[in-house]
Amino acid sequence: MQRQRAHAGRHGPAILDSRTTRFRLWAPDAQKVSLSVVGAQTLPMSAEKDGWYSIDAPYGAGTLYRFLIDDELEVPDPASRAQAGDVHAPSVVVDHTGYRWRNAEWRGRPWHETVLYELHAGLYGGFAAVEQHLAGLVELGVTAIELMPIAEFPGDRNWGYDGVLPYAPEAAYGSPEELKHLVDTAHGLGLMVFLDVVYNHFGPDGNYLGRYARHFFRHDQQTPWGDAIDFRRREVRDFFIDNALMWLLDYRFDGLRLDAVHAIPDRSLLTELAERVHATVEPGRHVHLVLENEDNRASLLAQGFTAQWNDDGHNVLHCLLTGEHQGYYADYHREATGKLARFLGEGFIYQGQNNRRGESRGEPSAHLPPTAFVLFLQNHDQTGNRAFGERLVSLADAEALRAATAVLLLSPMVPLLFMGEEWGARQPFLFFTSHHGELADAVREGRRAEFAEFAEFAQFADENVREHIPDPNALSTFEDSRPDFSSHREPGHVEWSALYRRLLQIRHREIIPRLDGARFRGAQVLGDAAVLAHWWLGDHSTLRLELNLGAAAVPLPAAPAAARLLFDSREADAQRGQLPARSARLYLENAHER
């Protein structure tokens, strides 16, 4: 077992020796700052240049503390490494060198080997409980888990996107040591661990930065969550870049998924973050940075970022599977077959074209490798942002969903599964929080108003709409979202488990060894909701996809005689020169067999 040197960022406490810690706070709008240690005397901190306050105090790991602003307001450390309870509780000094890593020689895995599995640690029961499921995921064929955000948030139930203390793992999930043990255990099983991080806003409860560092935000730019963060300031940029480095170095995460970077107005923050990460991690270690970016900025994927979540791909597949066309699905429902072909043949659908609002969106993407796109049929957003959190197994035709699952798991794009998807879980994934008082009321009513105008609620009077939308703050909403991990062996679920297992076996045997160097080759429309797509793989072989999500069979060109069938979702319905309705077939044509 090995100790590890802690990452030394400027924000937050730094342990100087076993009995001394340097406490720091950037508080340019405070006239006075003091260190308030629980059970001890309050100590004045020294004012330094550029709005910093600092003190070297005789306290070590485990110390509980707050900062006292202008003798009137006690606040947690915004760069707290752990909390003694909730976001308003005292912060805790953490010694990141104290954990002894059992798998310190782990260097990660190449990106093309990635099969992601997104999960919510709270629904599993915390970090220690997640560990109990890792071996089963490895056996399934997963190579990486991705934790939804775990930064300390108000209450003990939350998706994680209301975090206010980005450096502190949520206390309700476990301690920093338990989180490290989870990562360490995953590495011992050959699993990568990714973390979803939120650098575009803070949650609405527990953020005190505006009181003593109001220029942390810029009031001339707005986001969906309020004033934008002011990344023009060095102190603010370092706050988030050092946070990324902490997760990658102190916790040894293998990668980060950066949430909604389209809401970060200063693109240079992203490129600097990527540069700092790649310059800092030890040589030879695989670390991957993945974006969520509605703007489809393909250029970022050549500036230090590994991949982007492909919402375009999800959205067009969802429209074809369900027929839904409300909200943002309206951008994909019209001319859906052509958009399906563009997604399979070039990556993004929107590469500068106008959306339904007449706004140009996206950049050309066909030059990127298919592995630059993370593909999914379900995730926390696309399931949880539905009024009732229904999963696709309850919304789509089973045969069409089988075909789409083959695309997910056998295309050269990197697949992402959402917890429970692999056994056809029918428990919903709902939007849940644990706010209180007026904030709880506002969240509840806002959630209900969001769906009040949707067609499925038009039959209800306003008061009945309120009754039908689950209350995000109710404990039952959280409990109803917990996957039933014992159900995967029950009738109706065994078939889905077998499908995912079979497809992932094919992926590991036939696709992953050929992925490095893969390229898009294009796609053509065969008929309504039916396309033929090809990709060049890294060994010069060709992967051929025949996909028909429509209700009628379509004619198609025969596969080359030398092409080897990898998977046929409708084996019993095979017809010469025809692609059956709601089916997918994939072939591999090796270069030496042409």
> What tens digit of pLDDT does each residue of 116-169 get?
999 999 999 999 999 999 999 999 999 999 999 999 999 999 999 999 999 999
Domain count, the chain: 2
Evaluate whether residue 575 is within a structural domain.
yes
Q: How far apart are CA 433 and CA 45, in angstroms?
A: 36
Q: Is the pLDDT of residue 97 over 70?
A: yes
Q: How far apart are CA 500 and CA 224, in angstroms?
A: 37
* Tokens (6 digits) for 552: 């009628």
Q: Which amino acid would we find at residue 45? A: M
What is the residue-averaged pLDDT of the chain? Answer: 93
| CA distance readout (Å), 539 to 51, 291, 297, 563, 593 | 57, 28, 29, 15, 12
The CATH number assigned to the domain holding 549 equals: 2.60.40.1180
Q: What is the pLDDT of residue 170?
A: 98
What count of other Cβ atoms lies within 10 Å of the Cβ of residue 428?
A: 18
The CATH number assigned to the domain holding 41 equals: 2.60.40.10
The residue among 50, 65, 93 that closes a domain is 93
In the DSSP assignment, the letter for residue 321 is H
Closest CA to 9 of 244, 310, 307: 244
pLDDT digits (tens, 9 = 90+) for 399-408: 999 999 999 9
pLDDT digits (tens, 9 = 90+) for 221-274: 887 778 889 999 999 999 999 999 999 999 999 999 999 999 998 899 999 999
The residue among 61, 77, 93 that closes a domain is 93
Is residue 547 helix, strand or coil?
strand
In the DSSP assignment, the letter for residue 327 is G
Evaluate whether residue 227 is within a structural domain.
no
Evaluate whether residue 411 is within a structural domain.
no
Q: What is the pLDDT of residue 3?
A: 53
Which regions of 283-384 does DSSP assign to beta strands (E)? 288-291, 307-309, 373-376
Evaluate whether residue 548 is within a structural domain.
yes
Burial 92-131 (b: 16+ CB within 10 A, else e): bbbbbeebebebeebebbebbbbbbbbbbbbbbebbbbbb
What percentage of the chain exceeds 90 in pLDDT? Answer: 84
Q: Return left, alpha or beta for 37; rule: phi > 0 is left, psi -120 to 50 is alpha, else beta.
A: beta
What percentage of the chain exceeds 70 in pLDDT? Answer: 95
The residue among 93, 124, 140 that closes a domain is 93
In the DSSP assignment, the letter for residue 149 is P
Evaluate whether residue 63 is within a structural domain.
yes
Q: What angle do CA 240, 92, 99 make, to 5 degrees?
A: 80
Beta strands 165-169 and 151-152, pairing class: antiparallel
Domain that holds residue 561: 517-589
Evaluate whether residue 47 is within a structural domain.
yes
On the 0-12 / 13-18 / 19+ scale of CB atoms within 10 A, 7 is middle
CB 323 within 8 A of CB 316: no
Evaluate whether residue 230 is within a structural domain.
no
On the 0-12 / 13-18 / 19+ scale of CB atoms within 10 A, 160 is buried
Is residue 45 helix, strand or coil?
coil
Q: How far apart are CA 418 and CA 40, in angstroms?
A: 47
Evaluate whether residue 22 is within a structural domain.
yes
Q: Which of 358-362, 391-395, 501-505 has the lowest mean pLDDT?
A: 358-362
Element at 418 (helix H, strand E): strand 414-418
Q: Which amino acid would we find at residue 366? A: A
Its pTM stands at: 0.95
**Active site positions, annotated:** 259, 292
* Tokens (6 digits) for 590: 């090796």
